[in-house]
Chains A and B, each alone.
Chain A
């Protein structure tokens, strides 16, 4: 760099073409200032940071393949008779949407592949976002200054669910049509406005002739447009905040350690795009997803058994299946709790995780920036809460396939449903308790390791016959890494009388916070990390332990 700066500017003709183009662009766009800050930007390396990349790349793949699909897909519900090359469907009545999807699958060469890549990428996109979100959660990467980016990511996950849902509804096949019917039934359950929303969404009664066209513009324009904006915003914020990193030698809250964007990170991340795309393309070649030709066109009076939505809708499906069919009739109205309650729980359950960063920062009262990630064990209550949340989610996912679980494991569907109903409430509690214990156990082990060294696997016999395992002291790097985390003290309510001796009213929220804070950072919720004094006392005392 320094040599380049020292060189006198070359004459126009001689500069390499690339440089001239860059100069031209810089004169108009100011790209050099941008590049100065970012070209050698440092990115830390950790396998879990690739999860977000998987989401980004599958999103790009989805857009590319989606645009291709729009070239052939007809978003119309006009009924036509099929005369394409798929013999078993000859002469059948079906919507143009379904027919064009058959054509994409059978008459457009490579069309089936692109359809399957689109669908597989959607499944992986959502799975990637879910796991990525968990990574961010369990390492505390959502803390200040990244709360807004957490919300962006959360919104992407939710919008992704709906984009996926509107997408797989487009072919108007029997399976997805059943899913749309389910949605319409759920909309009807909304008090007061349910029937209106349903009529407006479907252009009249279900199924009508409008929803494919409407879902189409939502699916290819509205939601992806918003998501693209969010993705760009998400990435800008990642750049701006710089990446988080795990504690380690040389890594502080004030720096970021890793490799520069150009060339290493660019090669790795760029290469990773091709890896992800390659794997998805191969999967799409090998494993069929949503073979709509074997399902048939949608008819509201027909159904296929074992109807299942894509996995990301399984949670909602589970809630609806597990809820008892309560209905309350009064004054000529019906409150359809059996369907409406799951709808509400669905929203609340997601909202909890979306708002969690704000709850935690309120409990800790910590308004500082955090760039060093927590190891999950060092935040036992948060980790336990997260595991409890995931447990409830997974139980409902199982509930969404209760019939499949039942037939597969030869259980009665009744038993599976009751397991899910009880499990939804009990499972998270058990998961919380167990996780917290495990975290504390791991903290204890870390402390042990710091104070007494690592088990070396070498057994020594002492003169008096006792066998002991030799412990090797840790290096300073390891000692630092294991003791770098911070530990909060629980918030006290503070004196209830002020300096003049006047009794102060303790607000309810204050009490709540003290209580929560205790459950987060009280004695039962963290193992005090080893202090230098403890360490010195032990290491100076008897050498061999």
Chain B
């Protein structure tokens, strides 16, 4: 990044700085005329105007005091669950509105008072301060460098290489303990992301009714959400399991199913797909029965559920995994295995 090779004369003359404009220099019409003379405000000349400003400031501060009293009164007096209708805000919590407005006014008027005071009554004469270069003078620079060299020399670190090297080694190693300590933040991934609660024989339980389902419960064109039997909301670890096992069940006319494997893994036109979007994992919630499209509300990935749930629009990178289903002896829908591939977003080890 050196600029040695850029000739100095290529840089423009410093702004106003180097050749301090001489006011006498009448030849240069662009020269800096210097600070303009100070112009008096009405308050500087007319004591009555100044008095008016004083009263305005005092009024603002007084309003602030009143607003604070209003705040405390609202806090004490308004029932905290009272809702009121305020146009155009709609129904809102009365206390929140009162507290917000009174606090807002109490603070705002202090500010307004202070600013008005500063603008009208405090001196508004502009003054100039000098700047000094940030970098040190050459003498200071030389002194610091010399001091440092002296210090380094006295430490003998340059001569005693063994000390220096072992010290660097020790200092490099010691943070490792800190890194190691982080190990138990969580388990290793292992194959956790490849398995879900589904396995052969697990019944499909309707998320709404909490009942197992028969094929006849599922109408063509409907969308049903399901979970594996035995997984209850109150269970420990429910959230983790449902995050992978959530299922979306639809019924198509078997002729409408375009994908061969999808047809094989379905039962009487009933197909079960993972509800977890393969993009970054939102649950898919919208289904259009005419087109058989399922839509993820997060980033609008759209999957064709009649065609192996392949992605037809949006940022998802692969189709939704399908769960192989059938019916058991009692006629309830059941899983025939776990998902064959990991559900949810893709990851490095997915393959």
Q: Could you list which residues of chain A lie within 8 angstroms of chain B, going by C-beta atoms?
A: 41-42, 79, 85, 93, 106-107, 109-110, 112-113, 116, 145, 178, 181-182, 184-186, 188-196, 198-210, 240-242, 247, 249-260, 263-264, 267-268, 270-288, 298-307, 320-327, 329, 331-339, 358, 361-362, 364-372, 402-403, 413-414, 417, 450, 476-477, 479-480, 483-489, 491-492, 494, 510, 532, 535-536, 539
With A255-B131, A271-B114, A489-B10 given, can you name 14 additional A-B contacts, CB distance below 8 Å? A93-B234, A116-B96, A188-B280, A252-B15, A259-B125, A260-B127, A274-B114, A275-B115, A301-B283, A306-B297, A334-B347, A476-B31, A484-B16, A532-B27
Q: Which residue of A lies closest to B183 (CB)?
A: A200
Contact of B122 among A191, A264, A321, A483 (CB under 8 A): A264
Q: Is the CB of A282 within 8 A of B105?
A: yes
- In the complex, how many angstroms separate the beta carbon of A507 from the nearest chain B beta carbon? 9
- In the complex, how many angstroms separate the beta carbon of A358 from the nearest chain B beta carbon? 7
Say if the beta carbon of B174 comes within 8 Å of chain A.
no
Say if the beta carbon of B336 comes within 8 Å of chain A.
no
Q: Which A residues are in CB contact (< 8 Å) with B311?
A: 325
Q: Is the CB of A480 within 8 A of B33?
A: yes
Q: Which residue of B lies closest to A255 (CB)?
A: B128
Q: Is the CB of A277 within 8 A of B234?
A: no
Q: Which residue of A lies closest to B311 (CB)?
A: A325
> A277 CA to B131 CA in the complex, in Å?
33
Q: Which size class do B's interface residues fall under?
A: 35 or more
> A273 CA to B108 CA in the complex, in Å?
9
Q: Is the CB of A299 within 8 A of B239?
A: yes
A-B CB contacts (within 8 Å), total count? 401
Q: Which B residues are in CB contact (< 8 Å) with A491?
A: 6, 10
Contact of B347 among A178, A195, A324, A326 (CB under 8 A): A195
> A185 CA to B239 CA in the complex, in Å?
16
- Chain A binder among B139-147, B158-166, B240-248, B257-265: B240-248
Q: Is the CB of B103 within 8 A of A285?
A: yes
- Assuming the contacts A188-B346, A208-B240, A274-B110, asked whether A486 and B12 have C-beta atoms less than 8 A apart, the reply is yes
Contact of B187 among A204, A306, A492, A532 (CB under 8 A): A204
Q: Is the CB of B280 within 8 A of A186?
A: yes
Q: Is the CB of B100 within 8 A of A203?
A: no
Say if the beta carbon of B178 comes within 8 Å of chain A.
no
Q: Is the CB of A365 within 8 A of B3?
A: yes
> A207 CA to B36 CA in the complex, in Å?
65
Q: Which A residues are in CB contact (< 8 Å) with B93?
A: 112
- Assuming the contacts A196-B188, A325-B317, asked whether A109 and B131 have C-beta atoms less than 8 A apart, the reply is no
> A316 CA to B297 CA in the complex, in Å?
17
Q: Which B residues are in CB contact (< 8 Å) with A206?
A: 240, 243, 281
**Contact pattern, B 1-38, Cβ under 8 Å of A = 1, otherwise 0:** 10101110011111111001000000111111111100
Q: Is the CB of A145 within 8 A of B96?
A: no
Q: Is the CB of B115 within 8 A of A480?
A: no
- In the complex, how many angstroms separate the beta carbon of B130 from the nearest chain A beta carbon? 6
Q: Is the CB of B193 within 8 A of A205?
A: yes
- Assuming the contacts A184-B281, A242-B129, A326-B317, asked whether A303 and B298 have C-beta atoms less than 8 A apart, the reply is yes
- Assuming the contacts A185-B281, A336-B345, asked whether A258 and B114 have C-beta atoms less than 8 A apart, the reply is no
Q: Which B residues are in CB contact (< 8 Å) with A267?
A: 114-115, 117-118, 122
